[in-house]
Amino acid sequence: MINPFQSKQITCPVCLEISEISVLISEVFGKYFPVTHEKDQYVSQWKWTDEQWQHINPYLYSIVMCPKCYYSNFIDSFTDKQKSTTKRQMRYLKEKLNEISGFEKDLIRKIAEVFLASQTDHSHETAVMGMILTIFYQRMIMERKDFAISYTLPGRLYLRLSWLYREQFANGQKDENNQCAVTPIVSDMLDTLRNFHSLNKQIETQIKTMNEESSEQVYTIVLFLEEATKRLAEKTEEILSHIDSARGQAGDERSAIIKKSYTLWNWLPKNEAQAVAMAADCFVQAANNDYEISEKGACKILELAAYLYAKIGNKEGSNNCLRQIINLCYNQRMNLMKKLQKNTSIAQKSDIELEVKRLNTYIEDITYQYKYEENQQSDNFPSADA
């Protein structure tokens, strides 16, 4: 194989423009494969059939970005064959992105420029940037409560981000979590200013419904406030850059951009444990709310969430998931039993019996895990029947 990167034509679901970009060859072509799988699907080692590409880590290339509008996501979302719900979400996102201004717009542009400049040469930092921007877009879509939102995608994104952090940490890069105590306060200030900006925009659209004389007066005030907010935001930004340079950790451009995203988007997980926690929360939401997920699928996704919670020491979260799985299974078993009592053919009957058998084994398995977790939790407390 001459080049593991291939030129690919993509259609952006947001701006609908067609672009030519470089993407890493897909795993399905068998040019590389996982050597080991962890329980959360993380692959700690990949094997390339062609030795010369062994240094390429596929995880660094999972996100694709539109060079025109900077929308980013996994490659399979870059298609002109979108479901109508997705189309609606994308139109909404386009509108919201047009409203973004000032420092936030600036940050998005910086992330995109660095990301797009290294399409075939991503570092962990550029991969993290791509993931951050992708999560930012998904969060924007999720703000609209009336969309039928899937929590599976954000869960996958947070999980991927946690893997990137894990590898970054293993490579000896420093934890970005050590902030100056003032930084979160300034972040909150920026957050408030951003909210203010969006409220201002809302007034602006409402003004049109007022009579002409009073609308003109309000409009003058809105413009004045807009200008004042902009200057306040700039000054707040300045405070931040002073804090950073005073602490002597300006670093290179990439880590400066990542640090800036942490400041501006303070909901962002900054280390592996935080990202794992957010992934697990999303998966629980998905199991409970995503209407496309079957009961069986919900069990699988809850099992993953239980594993993730246990991994970061959140035993209560883990136990809640396991309990939920057991309940779901009891439900499924009851429904199967009801079916058995109806008049069914022998073939159907044996199918159902097989399924009940599978469920019983599964319930036993999960109950065992649940009891194990419980015991872990009560290590310091001798149990009553001991």
Q: How far is the CB of 74 from Zn ion (least distance, A)?
A: 15
Q: How far is the CB of 21 from Zn ion (least distance, A)?
A: 11
Task: Please give the Cα distance from 59 to 319 (Å, whole number).
Answer: 30
Query: Binding string to Zn ion for residues 272 to 311, with x set by CB under 5 A, is what?
Result: ----------------------------------------
Q: Angle at the Cα of 128 (from 127 to 131), degrees rounded to 5?
A: 90
Q: How far is the CB of 179 from Zn ion (least distance, A)?
A: 33
Q: How far is the CB of 16 from Zn ion (least distance, A)?
A: 7
Task: Please give the Cα distance from 276 to 309 (Å, whole number).
Answer: 8
Beta carbon nearer to Zn ion, 71 or 370: 71
Site for Zn ion in 102-131 (CB under 5 A): none
Beta carbon nearer to Zn ion, 15 or 356: 15
Query: Binding string to Zn ion for residues 3 to 22, with x set by CB under 5 A, is what?
Result: ---------x-xx-------
Tokens 């009940």, located at residue: 356
Nearest to 273 by CA among 124, 382, 169: 169
Q: How far is the CB of 14 from Zn ion (least distance, A)?
A: 5
Torsion of CA 166, 170, 173, 178, to 10 degrees: 60
Tokens, residue 190: 């920026």
Contacts of 133 (CB under 8 A, 6+ apart): 65, 70, 72, 108, 111, 112, 115
Q: How far is the CB of 198 from Zn ion (least distance, A)?
A: 22
Task: Please give the Cα distance from 377 to 103 (Å, whole number).
Answer: 46
Beta carbon nearer to Zn ion, 108 or 293: 108
Q: Is the sign of the CA dihedral 85, 13, 257, 226 positive or negative?
A: negative
Beta carbon nearer to Zn ion, 69 or 328: 69
Site for Zn ion in 47-66 (CB under 5 A): 66
Query: Using the rule CB under 5 A, which residue among 60, 63, 65, 69 binds Zn ion?
Result: 69
68 in contact with Zn ion (CB under 5 A): yes
Q: How far is the CB of 20 from Zn ion (least distance, A)?
A: 13
Beta carbon nearer to Zn ion, 138 or 152: 138
Phi, psi (rounded to 5 degrees) for 36: -130, 150
Beta-carbon count within 10 A of 149 CB: 20
Nearest to 159 by CA among 303, 292, 282: 282
Q: How far is the CB of 71 from Zn ion (least distance, A)?
A: 5
Beta carbon nearer to Zn ion, 68 or 235: 68
Number of residues that bind Zn ion (CB under 5 A): 7
Task: Please give the Cα distance from 141 to 158 (Å, whole number).
Answer: 16
Beta carbon nearer to Zn ion, 64 or 321: 64
Query: Using the rule CB under 5 A, which residue among 32, 59, 61, 71 binds Zn ion?
Result: 71
**Residue ranges binding Zn ion (CB under 5 A):** 12, 14-15, 66, 68-69, 71
